């Protein structure tokens, strides 16, 4: 690896990690593999990331960080209820053709990360993602209350955690093939859930 300042070297490492995990999954993100791709020693990778676990966790964060601005921009053009439905339904109705491929990678990495959440750094990356989702849902609910779209006495934080819990639970049911018992696709399920929450 040619000489790069610390920030540029870290960015080169992350770009390589994302390229590898996009094609081959999180398990392929090993320090040795990244070093081989970059033509440097594993020690140079360890200078920025102490373990492969840290690399995998950062890959999950970074893919979402790259995707999030475009998703937020698209969602903010919608009314609060539509925004909630979008985020709970996996943002499928706001993804343009240009975002489709990276969204596919992000979803796959998210599911893989949940599978290895016993790794503390990966668990922290998942918690970060859920916290970002929670912040968005809370802000959207609050905006809806202030605009008179949602009930004025809405318990914003409690409703937000119920919605996020339902979204995470739906993901698990989807992974295990159990959504057939719900009798509705994801968007319909969450539309009904929002209605039950008086949203």
> pLDDT > 90: what percent of the chain?
26
- Give CA–CA dist 175/163, Å, rounded: 18
Write the pLDDT tens digit of every residue in 33-53: 999 998 988 888 888 888 888
DSSP labels for the chain?
-----HHHHHHHHHHHHHHHHHHH-GGG--HHHHHHHHTS-HHHHHTT-SSHHHHHHHHHHHHHHHHHHHHHHHHTTS-HHHHHHHHHTTSGGG--TTTHHHHHHHHHHHHHHHHTTTSHHHHHHHHHHHHHHHHHHHHHHHHHHHTTSS-TT--HHHHHHHHHHHHHHHHHHHHTT-GGGGTS-HHHHHHHHHHHTT-
Instruction: List the CATH code of the domain at 1-50.
Output: 1.10.10.60
pLDDT recorded at residue 195: 94
pLDDT at 30 over 80: yes
The domain spans of the chain are 1-50, 67-196
Write the pLDDT tens digit of every residue in 54-107: 888 888 888 888 878 878 888 888 899 999 988 888 766 666 555 666 667 777
pLDDT at 109 over 90: no
Q: Report whether CATH 3.40.50 matches the domain 67-196.
A: no
pLDDT at 160 over 90: yes
> What confidence category does residue 185 fall into, taking pLDDT thresholds of 50, 70 and 90?
confident
Question: What value does the mean pLDDT of the chain take?
Answer: 84
């Amino acid at each position: 690896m040619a000489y790069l300042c610390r920030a540029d070297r870290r960015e080169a490492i992350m770009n390589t990690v994302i390229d590898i995990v996009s094609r081959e999954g999180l398990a392929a993100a090993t320090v040795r593999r990244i070093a081989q791709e970059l033509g440097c020693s594993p020690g140079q990778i360890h200078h920025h990331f102490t373990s492969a676990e840290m690399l995998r966790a950062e890959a999950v964060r970074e893919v979402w960080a790259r995707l999030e601005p475009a998703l937020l921009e698209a969602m903010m053009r919608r009314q609060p209820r539509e925004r909630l439905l979008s985020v709970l339904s996996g943002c499928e109705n706001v993804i343009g053709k240009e975002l489709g491929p990276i969204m596919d990678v992000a979803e796959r990495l998210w599911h893989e990360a949940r599978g290895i959440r016993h790794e503390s750094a990966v668990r922290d990356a998942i918690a970060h993602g859920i916290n970002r989702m929670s912040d968005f849902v809370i802000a959207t609910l609050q905006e809806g209350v202030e605009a008179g779209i949602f009930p004025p006495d809405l318990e914003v934080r409690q409703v937000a955690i119920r919605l996020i819990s339902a979204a995470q639970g739906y993901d698990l049911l989807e992974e295990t093939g159990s959504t057939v018992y719900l009798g509705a696709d994801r968007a319909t399920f969450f539309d009904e859930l929002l209605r039950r929450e008086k949203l």
